[in-house]
Structure 1
Amino acid sequence: MTTLYGFGSNGGGQLGLGHLEDSNTPQPCIGLPDDECIKKVVGGGNHSAVLTTSGRLFLAGSSQLGSRQQKQWEKNGGSTQYDWTVYNEPYPQHTWQDVACGWAFTILVNDSGNVFGIGSSAFGELGVVSKLDMTELCAIGPDCLVDISSVVCGWRHCLALTRTGTVYGWGWGKHGQLSGQRHQDSVIFSPFVLDVPEPMAQVACGHLHSLFLGARTNRVYGCGGNKNGQVGSRLGVANITTPTLCIDDGRTLAGDGDRSMAAWQLTTGWHHTALLSDEGRLVMWGKNDHGQLQDGLQHVTKVVCGSEHGLAQLDTGKVVAWGWNEHGNCTTDDDKVLAPVAVLPPALHTDNITLIGAGCATSWIGLSTK
C-alpha cells in the first residue's frame, strides 16, 4: 500500500491536499484509497494524475478540464461535480495502464492499449479538430492507436509508444518536436507514425522537444526546440526537425548498446533532459539557469524531471531535489537549489520510499505502508 505526499505549487488544487495553498513540506494527499499501491504520479499545468498497480486512476487539480473549464471552475469557487482539490476517480469503468499530463489536458491508455483524452483540444492535443475543451473522455486515433504501452505529453504535443517500439505523435509540432512534421498551422490532429531511426524502448516529452531511447542500441535521439541544448549539444541550432543522436562533450549519451535496457530511465523537464544509466549515473543536458542540471550525480536508482527541477532517489533510499524552487517543490526557502537537498522531514523515513513524481513546480513522494 502507498501513502502519497505532495509539495510545491498547488494551483487549482493539483497536489490533492484539500486546499489551494503551496507547500514546501511534503503533505499527505487526500482522496486516494489506503488499500492500493501507486505505480505512477504525473503533473500538468495545474492538475495531476495518480495510477495504481490495479489500474485505477485518480485526478486532482482544475486544468485537466481544459483552460476554459479551469477558469470557470475558479470563477465558481471550485464548485463542480467534483472537488478537484482532492483526488477523485472519475472513470472507474476502465482499467488503466498508463497516464500522462500536458499543460491543460490528460492522455490515458487502458488495459487494451487504446488511447483516450480529456481537457484542452485547441492544439490537437486530443486528436480532434476542435477549439473546444473536452469535458468527457474522447477516444484518440481509434483506428491507428492500438497496442499502445505508454504515452507522454509535452506542453501541447503527445507521443505514444507501442509494445513493438513504434512511435506515434500528434498535437503542436511547430518546432519539429513531432519529427519535422508540419501543418500549415503547425498542428497535427491525426496521430501518425514518426520516422525514428530504430524501435524505441522509451519516449519523453519536454516543453517543445521530444526524446527517444533506442531499444536496440541504447542510443538517445531527440528533435524539437533546442534553444538551450535540450535536444543535444548543437547549441547553434534552435530547432532540430529530424530525430538526431544526442551528444554531450563528445560522448554518446546512451552508451554503446551492450547493456540491458531494464534499468535505464529517460526523463525531461521543460528545457532540460536527464538520462539515468544502468550503473546509477545521471547524465543531464539543456537549460541550467536554476541549477536544473546535476550531471554526474551517482548512486541514483530513480529520477524524474519537473518543469525546471528534478527529484532523484539514491541507493540509500534518500530522495533529493534540485533546481527552481519558487513554490517550495524542493522543500527549501530558496528560489534556486543549486545542489541536491534531502526532501523528507525527520518524521518520515527513507527506507520505505517506493515512488517519486514531478510536474510543473510540483513534487510527490510515495511511501509503502505495508
Structure 2
Amino acid sequence: MPTLHACGSNGGGQLAIGHAHDVATFTPCVFDSSCPPIERVVDLVSTASHALTLVSADGHNQLLGAGTNTHGQLGKVCALTQSVQAATSFRPLSIARDTGFEGWEPVKIAATWTTSFVALESPDGSAVRTQVIVAVGSDDFGELGSGIIRPKEGERVEHLRGGQRHVLAVLTSGSGDGRKQRVIGWGAARRGELDPNPHADRGKSKARVRTLPPTELALDLPSPIVDISLGASHTLILLANGRVLAWGNNLKGQITGLRDVADVSAIGATWNGSYILNDQFWSQGSNTHGQLLRSDTGETHGPRATVTVAGGLETFAAGSEHILALSRASSRMDLWTGGWNEHGNLGLGNTADGAQLVNTGMHASRVWAGCAASWALIE
C-alpha cells in the first residue's frame, strides 16, 4: 500500500516522523511497534500540536495519535502519558476507554486547536448498533460540549468536522437521497460561525454569545449534505445538488457570493479563505501569504477568482493557510502544493511562500492538510 508521509510544523512531534523538528520535505511517518498491522488509512486530522489518524487493521477501525498531550487531547490512559516528552510516532489511543466506551469502534474523527473528537460505534453483537461522539482535551471555547453527544435513536454520525475553535456534526437517519439529516454545532460562536441565517448582521457592533453548547442549527436542506469544511470562524457546507451553504465571519470576503455558485463538486476552507471546485478551481478571502494561489499576493480581501491548475484537478485539501492538490497524470495523480510555507509545509525543500500551485514531483493517492502541516499517501 502507499506509505504515509508528512511535512511542516512539528514542534509537538505531531507529524509522527521520529523527532520534533519541522521538515520541509515529505518524510515517512513512524508507527510504534504497539500499532496493529495497518491495512489502510481511513482518515487523518491535525491541528496545533497533535494529530489523529483512523486506520483499518484486522477488519476494524483503530485510533492512533501523535504529538503533545498537555490537555489530554490524546487520552488519559495510554502510552503517551508515561513521559513528558511528545510522542513522535503514531501510537494507539485510549480515548474510547477513557470516556467509558471500551470496546466501541471509532468511525469518525475531528479536532480543533487542542481538542479531539471521536465518533464511536457500539461493538458487533450489540442488540442495537448505536453511535456517540466523545470529546477530550481543552475547553477554551466550549469545544468539549457536554463531553458526550448522543444522537437520537436510529441516527448515525455521517460527517464530523472541526475548525479552529468550532465543530459541526451531521446526524443522519435513513439512507440514499431520502435520508434525513440534522446539523449539530458547538464551540466558538462570536463571529457567526454557528449561525446559518444568511440575513444575519455580520457587523462588528453585533453582540453575539462567545460560545454555544451542542445546538441543532436551523438549516433548510433542499439536498443532502455531502461535505463540510470549517475555517477559523466561517463554515462551508456542500450539498448533493452542487450548491454551497456558507456563513460566519466575512471580514476577508471569504463567504461572499458562495450561495450563488452552482455545480460545485468540492469545497475547502483555510483560516480566512474559501475554495470551490466546479468546472474550474476558485479561491477567495485573505491572500496575505499567497494562499489564494494567484497573482494578487498580499491582498487581505481577495474576491473570487480562478486558480491556474496544470492538468485536471481531481481533489484538494485546505490547511490553515495552504493547499494540497492532486491532478491526474496518466494512471497516477501528481501532488501540487501552494500558499503559506513558514514551516516547510509545502514539501518543496524550503520555507518560501508559494503564490501558485507547484508540482512536488511526487505521486499521491490521498492528501490531508492541517495547521501548517501536510500529509500524503505517497505511491
Residue in 1 that maps onto 2:356: 339
Show the 5 A alignment for 1:236-247. 246=258
Structure 1 residue 88 corresponds to structure 2 residue 87: no
Distance 1:61 1:144, change over 3 A: farther
Residues 24 and 327 of structure 1 are in contact (CA less than 8 Å); yes or no, is this contact kept in structure 2? yes
Instruction: Provide the aligned length of Structure 1 versus Structure 2.
Output: 320
Say which SS state the counterpart of residue 12 (structure 2) adopts.
helix
Deviations 1:326-360 (A, max 9, x none): 1000123243111212235xxxx52xx22211100
The correspondence for 2:343, drawn from 319, 323, 327, is 327
- Deviation of 1:282 after TM superposition, in Å, equals 1.8
- Deviation of 1:183 after TM superposition, in Å, equals 9.7
Distance 1:180 1:265, change over 3 A: closer
Residues 43 and 55 of structure 2 are in contact (CA less than 8 Å); yes or no, is this contact kept in structure 1? yes
Residues 196 and 217 of structure 2 are in contact (CA less than 8 Å); yes or no, is this contact kept in structure 1? no
Structure 1 residue 100 corresponds to structure 2 residue 97: no
Deviations 1:255-311 (A, max 9, x none): 3xxxxx8xx22221111112223x5x3222211111112333441112000000000
- Deviation of 1:143 after TM superposition, in Å, equals 5.7
For residues 187 and 145 of structure 1, the distance between their equivalents in structure 2, rounded to whole angstroms, comes to: 29
Amino acid at match of 1:58: L
For residues 324 and 159 of structure 2, the distance between their equivalents in structure 1, rounded to whole angstroms, comes to: 21
Could you tell which deviates more after superposition, 311-320 or 37-46? 37-46
The correspondence for 2:233, drawn from 205, 208, 225, is 208
Percent identity over the alignment?
28
Structure 1 residue 37 corresponds to structure 2 residue 45: no
Amino acid at match of 2:342: E
Say which SS state the counterpart of residue 87 (structure 2) adopts.
coil
Residues 69 and 81 of structure 2 are in contact (CA less than 8 Å); yes or no, is this contact kept in structure 1? no
Say which SS state the counterpart of residue 343 (structure 1) adopts.
strand
The correspondence for 1:125, drawn from 114, 119, 143, is 143
Residues 206 and 268 of structure 1 are in contact (CA less than 8 Å); yes or no, is this contact kept in structure 2? yes
Residues 195 and 217 of structure 2 are in contact (CA less than 8 Å); yes or no, is this contact kept in structure 1? no
- Deviation of 1:46 after TM superposition, in Å, equals 1.1
The correspondence for 2:62, drawn from 34, 52, 56, is 56
For residues 64 and 206 of structure 1, the distance between their equivalents in structure 2, rounded to whole angstroms, comes to: 24
- Deviation of 1:192 after TM superposition, in Å, equals 2.1
Structure 1: where are the runs of 5+ without partners? 70-76, 129-137, 234-245, 256-260
For residues 25 and 154 of structure 2, the distance between their equivalents in structure 1, rounded to whole angstroms, comes to: 40
Residues 126 and 140 of structure 1 are in contact (CA less than 8 Å); yes or no, is this contact kept in structure 2? no
- Deviation of 1:9 after TM superposition, in Å, equals 0.4
Distance 1:213 1:34, change over 3 A: same
Return the TM-score normalized by structure 1.
Answer: 0.78
- Deviation of 1:78 after TM superposition, in Å, equals 8.2
Show the 5 A alignment for 1:118-157. 118-128=136-146, 138-141=147-150, 146-157=155-166
- Deviation of 1:195 after TM superposition, in Å, equals 2.6
Residue in 2 that maps onto 1:311: 324
Residue in 2 that maps onto 1:360: 371
Structure 1 residue 192 corresponds to structure 2 residue 221: no
- Deviation of 1:165 after TM superposition, in Å, equals 3.2
Say which SS state the counterpart of residue 166 (structure 1) adopts.
strand
Residue in 1 that maps onto 2:184: 168
Amino acid at match of 2:227: Q
Amino acid at match of 1:340: L
For residues 102 and 46 of structure 1, the distance between their equivalents in structure 2, rounded to whole angstroms, comes to: 11
Residues 47 and 64 of structure 1 are in contact (CA less than 8 Å); yes or no, is this contact kept in structure 2? no
For residues 218 and 341 of structure 1, the distance between their equivalents in structure 2, rounded to whole angstroms, comes to: 28
Residues 319 and 372 of structure 2 are in contact (CA less than 8 Å); yes or no, is this contact kept in structure 1? yes
Return the TM-score normalized by structure 2.
Answer: 0.76
Distance 1:196 1:107, change over 3 A: farther
Structure 2: where are the runs of 5+ without partners? 97-102, 122-129, 173-179, 198-205, 294-305
For residues 33 and 292 of structure 1, the distance between their equivalents in structure 2, rounded to whole angstroms, comes to: 38
For residues 145 and 307 of structure 1, the distance between their equivalents in structure 2, rounded to whole angstroms, comes to: 35
Say which SS state the counterpart of residue 292 (structure 1) adopts.
coil
